[in-house]
Amino acid sequence: MAEIDDNSGEIGSGEIEKKRRTQRNWAIAAMLFAFIVIIYAVTILRLSAAAG
Protein backbone atom coordinates (compact mmCIF):
# COMPACT_ATOMS: atom_id res chain seq x y z
CA MET A 1 0.00 0.00 0.00
CA ALA A 2 2.82 2.37 0.84
CA GLU A 3 4.33 1.84 -2.60
CA ILE A 4 1.03 2.75 -4.29
CA ASP A 5 0.76 5.88 -2.14
CA ASP A 6 4.29 6.95 -3.12
CA ASN A 7 3.52 6.47 -6.80
CA SER A 8 0.29 8.46 -6.62
CA GLY A 9 2.20 11.20 -4.78
CA GLU A 10 4.78 11.34 -7.55
CA ILE A 11 2.07 11.51 -10.19
CA GLY A 12 0.39 14.34 -8.29
CA SER A 13 3.57 16.39 -8.02
CA GLY A 14 4.31 15.66 -11.66
CA GLU A 15 0.87 16.99 -12.63
CA ILE A 16 1.50 20.21 -10.68
CA GLU A 17 4.90 20.61 -12.35
CA LYS A 18 3.37 19.94 -15.79
CA LYS A 19 0.64 22.50 -15.13
CA ARG A 20 3.23 25.07 -14.04
CA ARG A 21 5.34 24.38 -17.13
CA THR A 22 2.27 24.69 -19.36
CA GLN A 23 1.38 28.06 -17.82
CA ARG A 24 4.95 29.27 -18.40
CA ASN A 25 4.84 28.08 -22.02
CA TRP A 26 1.53 29.90 -22.56
CA ALA A 27 3.00 33.07 -21.02
CA ILE A 28 6.00 32.89 -23.36
CA ALA A 29 3.74 32.20 -26.34
CA ALA A 30 1.51 35.14 -25.42
CA MET A 31 4.52 37.46 -25.13
CA LEU A 32 5.89 36.32 -28.49
CA PHE A 33 2.46 36.75 -30.09
CA ALA A 34 2.11 40.28 -28.66
CA PHE A 35 5.63 41.12 -29.83
CA ILE A 36 4.88 39.91 -33.37
CA VAL A 37 1.59 41.82 -33.45
CA ILE A 38 3.34 45.03 -32.35
CA ILE A 39 6.09 44.62 -34.96
CA TYR A 40 3.43 43.91 -37.60
CA ALA A 41 1.39 46.98 -36.61
CA VAL A 42 4.46 49.24 -36.61
CA THR A 43 5.51 47.91 -40.01
CA ILE A 44 2.04 48.54 -41.46
CA LEU A 45 2.00 52.06 -40.02
CA ARG A 46 5.43 52.80 -41.46
CA LEU A 47 4.45 51.46 -44.89
CA SER A 48 1.19 53.41 -44.94
CA ALA A 49 3.01 56.54 -43.76
CA ALA A 50 5.69 56.09 -46.44
CA ALA A 51 3.04 55.45 -49.10
CA GLY A 52 0.94 58.39 -47.98
Residues whose CB falls within 8 Å of the CB of residue 21, separated by 6 or more in sequence, listed in order: none
Say which amino acid occupies 28.
I
Q: What is the predicted pLDDT for the residue at 10?
A: 57
Q: What is the predicted pLDDT for the residue at 11?
A: 61
Structural domain harbouring 5: 1-52
Q: State pLDDT tens for residues 17-35.
A: 899 999 999 999 999 999 9
Structural domains counted in the chain: 1
